[in-house]
Amino acid sequence: MMKNINKILILVLVIFHTVGLIGMLFFDRSSFIKLTWLNLLISTIIAFISYKKKIVRLIIPFFLVAFVTFFAEFIGVKTGLLFGDYKYGDVLGLKLFKVPLLIGFLWLTLSLGAKSIAQRFTSLPSQIGYVLAALLMVFVDFLIEPVAIKFGYWIWEHDSVPIFNYVCWFLLAYVNQLFLSKINNRNDVLEALFLINVLFFSILNYFL
């Protein structure tokens, strides 16, 4: 039964990302870009659903990751001391202190997916697993950045991504893995979401 539910959730993710990809490549791109926040929201809801009954005991680490990453983004936007000098556009949904409210949950879903993929290598010491998951996060950010700049998700002051951004991504991603350290079960849905994002942004980078 659980496997069937997971398959349905993965199918929903595939459908939404496929529709978004086709729309951005072949139709009115601006209209689909404006719906990015909806994709983030649906992905977050599916992530929570995928943990089913376990979600109750995972609420605290989940919201800890979402809050800490949101706060880090706030510091970054406000001061430039984290990530670099950047600001968010208007396509990622409602903002608080100039930071999209959903950004913490984007970090959460990607962190959970990276963690689950890293856990496939069961022979690795836990700390090495955290580093691997953090490196996966940096990789996906490397794919996201060119698209994000082109679509106005966020804007860098000098129109280029500083190396410091990737250093901060790695460090924050590693901290997130520490917050999520008690979650030892792999999650096929979150792995799929992570890989869908990799494919989604790889294709956009190739064609745009």
Q: What is the mean pLDDT of each run of 10 residues along the chain (208 residues)?
A: 81 94 92 92 92 82 95 96 94 94 95 94 85 96 95 90 96 96 88 97 93
E strand residue ranges, 18-153: 86-88, 95-96, 99-100
Q: What is the dihedral of CA 100, 104, 109, 115, to 10 degrees?
A: 150
Q: Are strands 99-100 and 95-96 parallel, antiparallel or unpaired?
A: antiparallel
Q: Structural domain boundaries of the chain?
A: 2-207
pLDDT for position 53: 73
pLDDT for position 1: 56
pLDDT for position 142: 96
